[in-house]
Amino acid sequence: MLDHIPGIKYTNSSNFFLMAGPCAIEGEDIVLRIAERIVEITDKLQIPLIFKGSYRKANRSRIDSFTGIGDEKALKILAKVSREFGVPTVTDIHESVEAAMAACYVDVLQIPAFLCRQTDLLIAAAKTGKTVNIKKGQFLSAASMGFAVDKVKDSGNSNVILTDRGNTFGYQDLIVDFRGIPEMQSFGVPVVMDCTHSLQQPNQVTGVTGGKPALIETIAKAAIAVGADGLFIETHPEPEYAKSDGANMLHLNVLEPLLEKLIRIRQAVI
């Protein structure tokens, strides 16, 4: 399923795969510490891993919010994670001109949910030859994502992943429609459930996005039970001090026991 991504281990595993890491690349030491722990866990459990981290946060509520440590500096840290731990990496891109730059450092290019209809961005990502992970827009049905898949495939790249991150439910909440997982799988691509961003509470009056991290396990269990191919989980050793999305990240200490539960569910449904 992910054989085309360099560095993927356990391709014959019956497990789901995991896209996990901090929301943003905050610095080399913290990122390498997080990566080391996630790799240790996923190696033990034989879960294929793609390490994630945003080299720049372009979509922020307030102008004074953290956006990054510098594009090249952050991308080099992601490349170091790949070299040191032997795992592929994924990061977001926001404009067409970023695709070729990011592709020099990572294995998977991610299209943010708000940008999933941006044709030029999808084409630019496709033309790098890298796997393209498209987040489903909160404002779109699962069926609508077939057009995003077509844009990448029609540009000569068949390596596409779709990630659900919930649907807008009023002004400050999201809800997950699990019917979307099999519907998007019908396009012939792996489908991932974003267990952290689907629990965001955006547009808070403070300008800082809220979240419901206590429900990450609930979303993850349901997604695996429905048959999701992979999970997307942002995690941090100290979410309360994270520079981005701390309100809905999973504490790194609880990642292993959660994954152990999810493996048992996976084994029960396959």
pLDDT tens digits, 141-188: 999 999 999 999 999 999 999 999 999 988 888 999 999 999 999 999
- Three-state secondary structure call for residue 54: strand
Q: How many CB atoms lie within 10 A of CB 59?
A: 15
- Three-state secondary structure call for residue 18: strand
- What's the CATH architecture for 17-269? Alpha-Beta Barrel (3.20)
Q: How far is CA 123 from the centre of its chain?
A: 20
User: Which tokens hold the place of 69?
Assistant: 């440590």
Question: Which of 187, 183, 182, 139 is CA-nearest to residue 160?
Answer: 187
User: Which tokens hold the place of 86?
Assistant: 């032997």
Kindly report which listed range (65-69, 117-121, 190-194, 261-265) carries the lowest average pLDDT score: 65-69
In angstroms, the CA 91 to CA 25 distance is: 10
Q: How far is CA 215 from CA 200, 201, 258, in A?
A: 11, 13, 12
Higher pLDDT, 57 or 98: 98
User: Does residue 135 have a pLDDT over 80?
Assistant: yes
Cβ atoms of 235 and 20 closer than 8 Å: yes
Q: How far is CA 219 from CA 133, 195, 224, in A?
A: 20, 6, 9
pLDDT for residue 172: 81
In angstroms, the CA 43 to CA 156 distance is: 33
Higher pLDDT, 107 or 1: 107
H or E element, residue 266: helix 255-269
